[in-house]
Chains A and B, each alone.
Chain A
Amino acid sequence: MSTLASNIQAPAVPLKKTRSGRYQLSQKDVSSWLVLAVGVTFLFSLIFFLGFAANYKWDQFSPAVAAKIATEFFRFDKIAFADQLSILALLINTVILGFITTVLGALIGLPFGLMAARNLSWPWLSNLIKALASFVRAVPTIIWVLLFISGYGLTSTTAIVGMVFHSWAFFVKSYGESFEEVDPGTIEALRSTGCTSFQVISSAVIPSAATRIISWIAMRSETNFAVAVVIGPAVGVAGTIGSVINGYSRVGDYSGLGFSLFCVFLTALVFELILTRLKQRSAR
């Protein structure tokens, strides 16, 4: 009897009870319509943009520059050794900028992440902090940097303060989600033995979420590196590799541009490989 029962599978569409008390067998399947509608919206906007809105004049495209980029981009031998060293130093600065921002965001985000986790805090506090974090996250990182220029001037402090805001919100969300997935039995067991909430957090919550936290940190380092590259040209904070890239593109030094681009690409690739490794480890 039990084997028979286990062989019977639940219906794919769960039975739904209507208000009159009858069971409804057929349900409207919106999902396939929705998929179609979204797909059509995408395609329509593509056709509309390319056909009517873009009005790009192809004489603005300069094939000469494109050809020059293609031929001179990988001539790394054309750059002086001192220039290569200074590009590398700026690359290290960019990585440090991203690193410090990530560390600060991760540290400041930790108490707020605990407050945002539904199983560790009061519902009203959790909702409040989650709403605040989602608002801060909706403002692009570069805008946060832009807003703080008026206060701190064009220094690396500005860049860090601005980027920390966005990282903080990211960490609050991701920490909150990881903490909510901690086994409630463990927390309850520790509480019943008379542990204080600090002990519960330090010996149950954080250790069991640790692998996931580390992969969040790696993910954010990757994002912060990408942002740190572009704050130079976009906002004007000097001292990162982005300013050098912008300078080379203004002057038209394609080999220098190619070399610095290559450095950025390699660093981002290393970040991505680390992240993939960490994800595989936390999935196990």
Chain B
Amino acid sequence: MSYFREKRIRTAAFLIVGFLLTVAGSQRIQFDWILMITHFPAAITRFIQLYLPPDFSELGRMIQEMGVTVLIALAAAATGMILAFFAALAISARTSKNKTLTLIIRMLASLTRNIPEGVWAIVLLMCFWYGEFLAYLVMSIISFGFLARVYADAMDETSMDCIEALEATGASYWQIIFNAVVPETLPALISWSLYAAENNIRSSTIIGMLAGGGIGYLIGNYRHFRQFQSLLVAIVLVVAAVLIFDQISAQIRRRILQ
């Protein structure tokens, strides 16, 4: 009986501490719980007043920019793929040869991954200029950080047998990589790259608002000039693109990974 009681007390203490932390935190950042609930219907009404009916007059331009966004996302994922492949070779325990190189690449990947994409956009904006190229650069950095980690995990799962067998025949390092590691991990690598491209499309709104380029730039503009009815159309377009891309990549992933 005492075990259950102890467990119950621990759960209660955990909940109370969590509750107190939440209350203290909301005091600190002036988050208004009551306003959040009571004001919600008014917020919805205001949203309907401002955003509806949708204005389709600039749909052609939006679709064009959406195409640019998808192109940038794919190109950035490809860049991330190529760089992350070599980084993962250095990180993964199966393929790494040099301890210092492993450490350096690991830190680099962690740095690129743990700084949010918006912050990368702000920092790189200072030395590059607004536009598609900056968006591409930021997305490549983000994709690289993400892909380096998952590629290294995928490579860690390759069977040692193939590698050892090839080593015994006297194959060189790159022969081993391209004849044992790559064929075994390629489906996983491709499916993670699709995921990275999808993430890029999602974050293109933030990146576009801050760095320009693609549909995010249009969204930022519509907000600045208070064209909320066009803004809604752009948002719906982003959602549609994300959902379609999600479906396509899920289908491809299912075929590839089986």
Interface residues of A (CB under 8 A from B): 30-31, 34-35, 38-39, 41-43, 45-46, 48-50, 53-54, 56, 60-63, 65-66, 69, 92-93, 96-97, 99-100, 103, 134-135, 138-140, 142-143, 146-148, 150-152, 155-157, 160-161, 226-227, 229-230, 233-235, 239, 242, 245-246, 249, 252, 257, 261, 264-265, 268-269, 272
Contacts and interface: CB of A to CB of B under 8 A. Distances in A.
Contacts of B18: 103
B238 A157 contact: no
Given A42-B81, A264-B119, A269-B110, 5 more contacts: A92-B28, A143-B235, A150-B50, A245-B119, A249-B125
B119 A39 contact: no
Interface stretch (B30-38, B53-61, B96-104, B155-163): B30-38
Given A65-B127, A142-B209, A42 B74 contact: yes
A187 B4 CA distance: 20
Contacts of B193: 38, 42
B79 A46 contact: yes
Given A151-B44, A233-B210, A264-B115, A156 B31 contact: yes
A49 B30 CA distance: 45
Size class of the B contact interface (CB-based, 8 Å) = 35 or more
B251 to A, nearest CB: 9
A54 B79 CA distance: 14
29 contacts: A34-B255, A38-B252, A39-B190, A42-B81, A45-B75, A49-B72, A54-B132, A60-B128, A93-B28, A99-B22, A138-B246, A139-B235, A139-B238, A142-B205, A146-B231, A147-B47, A150-B46, A150-B50, A151-B42, A151-B43, A157-B31, A160-B36, A226-B117, A229-B119, A233-B118, A239-B29, A249-B126, A261-B115, A272-B110
Given A39-B190, A54-B133, A140-B203, A268 B116 contact: yes
Contacts of A160: 31, 36
B128 A151 contact: no
A226 B116 contact: yes
B128 A61 contact: yes
B83 to A, nearest CB: 12
Contact of A156 (B30, B39, B129, B210): B30
